[in-house]
Structure 1
Amino acid sequence: MTGFNTRAIHAGQEPDPATGAVIPPLHLTTTYKQDGVGGLRGGYEYSRSANPTRDTLQTALASLEQGTRAMTFASGLAAEDTLLRTVCRPGDSVVLGGDAYGGTYRLISRVMAPWGVGHQPVDLNDLDAVRAAVAPETTRVVWCETPSNPLLNVADIAALAEIAHAAGTLLVVDNTFASPYLQQPLTLGADVVVHSTTKYLGGHSDVVGGALVVADDELGEQLAFLQNAAGAVNGPFDAWLVLRSLKTLGVRMERHSANGARIAEWLLEHPAVGDVLYPGLPQHRNHEVAASQMSGFGGMVSFRLRGTDRASAEEAALRVCERTELFTLAESLGGVESLVEHPHRMTHASAAGSPLEVPADLVRLSVGIEDVDDLIADLDQALT
């Protein structure tokens, strides 16, 4: 197998046979001429079912995650919804990490639950608790984010896969924070990888999308059926934008990781900061696991502010979010520009009052690829 960056540039992306164009064409079409009834060219009849640009992206993603098949969608949550409705039925349940993304928790607790699908949050670092939570009769999915959003916990993918498979359950890993450049869960035993392609795969804050990558052909066929039947696919231009960005994923993740590490180390020494959450730090509780299954630690950094009480610490966190200049106050992550947000009131507001509620004094950074000294100077003035 060729190297990651070579596959990112070439997998599924041969020069156009008609013109020799080195960039795959953008197929902005809804339908395709048939050579007689049922005489399809390349299997294409309607772009909800298949589109050459989307197919190229799916081929590339399957190669990068070392899976057998990939499917792309209009958003990350559309991908998650398709997966859950494919593998779950009323009476089934999902075991998910106790600090899962708020949108995932909302989908499971408020959309799937009325349909009869239960859920149980659990600390994925407590393997005995995971074993106790997995019920072979009803648990269909163990849902893992690693690193998690926004607490940057890291789960042992291989250990979770062993527990899930012993109970006849699927292990799903949300690989959005790491990207396939830093971590490839299918090679560690996961059954399905989930991505919000909006984030690092898109990388430029200009496209919304999602993806599923699977290790098993039969599961891939089932997911592809619902991808077509429910129809929450990404358009060809969105697919083309992500495909373009995959070519630079490796070099971008190297810079994100280098900047993230520098900022995490700097934050450790700041008197206003109480705790720094970054798996690349030796002090991180999951550092050894992260180092064993990741080739780098990415650009996501969270930290907690000091205060005399909860209210003052929360106010300090809000002031930091309001005072940064290079770090733009905005949701989302993974773009070339740096972002800052307050998860308790922004991305994870839907988890307030639940077991997945995040600390009110937490600030999350998506560290971009700017000059790191400028980013540190911005944080310094915001924390002063």
Structure 2
Amino acid sequence: MVSPDRARTEARPVIAIVGSVDSTRAFTPELKHPATAPAACRELGRQLALAGYDLAVFSAKPKYVEYDVVHGYAAQENGGTIFAHVPRHRDADFALPQGSSVAVRTVRDTSPEWEVSFYRTLPSLDAMLLVGGGQSTRVAGVIALSQRIPLLPVAAFGGGAGQVWVNLDKVRNDTTDDDITLLGQDWRPDSARRLVECLDRQRQRRAQWLRDSDRSARRASLSTGLGLTVALLLLVCSLLGFALAGEPGPATGRRLGVLVVTPLLAAMAGAVIRSSFETTDQWARSAVRGLGAGVVSVLLYVASQLLTVPTLLDELDVRRLLFFTLPLGFSAGFTFDLVFERLRSGAAPEPPVPPVGQPPGPPGTGTTDRQ
């Protein structure tokens, strides 16, 4: 759930602050160095303010890391906005000094459960900082990993954030080996600055990945559109064969050309249309494969007719044959993978199909006349 005020700061990235370093609570995995964690969180807040981030927090209670991060963020006096996402019956009061340059915007969810507001908000944010915590922190980290949200699981203080760091090493997303090493190091005076710089690098890589993905999607869309346009032109050209067929007569080069080329164009159109349903649309390659399938299917059909009616070429009715060969070519192209699979498996060809109106020959013969 995004606040309406978010539009005012759209140019500033918003980072979720998640976790707890409360030593009175039992966490699995256990916390490490909880006494030094609050100061580290305040320094992280200060560095986030310097880097130009806005914060998304979910509680103002001191037992959660939001409290210390917010106070470190506000102490920097660098402006910025804190979005407090809370259930409808709660408030978030961080007791910031009067006149603080930081604006706190309360975003109330319609649900009374904190989990709804928490998990609904996370996917819409630009980054996530995890420190300590338990199950909820681990789940938040899994959401960030699955959505490729830039992530800072600070493993120095253990807890759920430490487990998310282990998971991040397997998924990686936009992190490098150096980033994973940095996230797993013990806390040092310059750790906060280096961690925020690591976060900036992740965001830059993710932005580049989004740009590359967008360009790839546009190229794929253009390729698909071009392929379908080519398929339409091929299909129209194949239908023109009916107009070019002419009247029945002896087999000439023109009549044979129309009889063979027309279904091949339809086969290529069918293959290109089929490729538009695939994840990777390579319509040019599919057109060539469809052409091959069309050649095999159409020539086998013509050969079967010549075996059945040896005098077929003496009085060739191209238009009549096209009513069968054109759909045959289109089907062969549309299902070219099945055609080639049948050829590879060595399956026997279908029995010859006699022309329309021609009675089939007697069993055991390939012609209608006695020899």
Superposition TM-score, scaled by structure 1 size: 0.23
> Which has more radius of gyration?
2
**TM score, norm. by length of structure 2:** 0.24
- Determine which structure has the larger helix proportion and give its number: 2
Please state which structure has a larger fraction of its residues in strand: 1
With a CA cutoff of 8 Å and minimum separation of 6, indicate the structure with the bigger relative contact order. Answer: 1
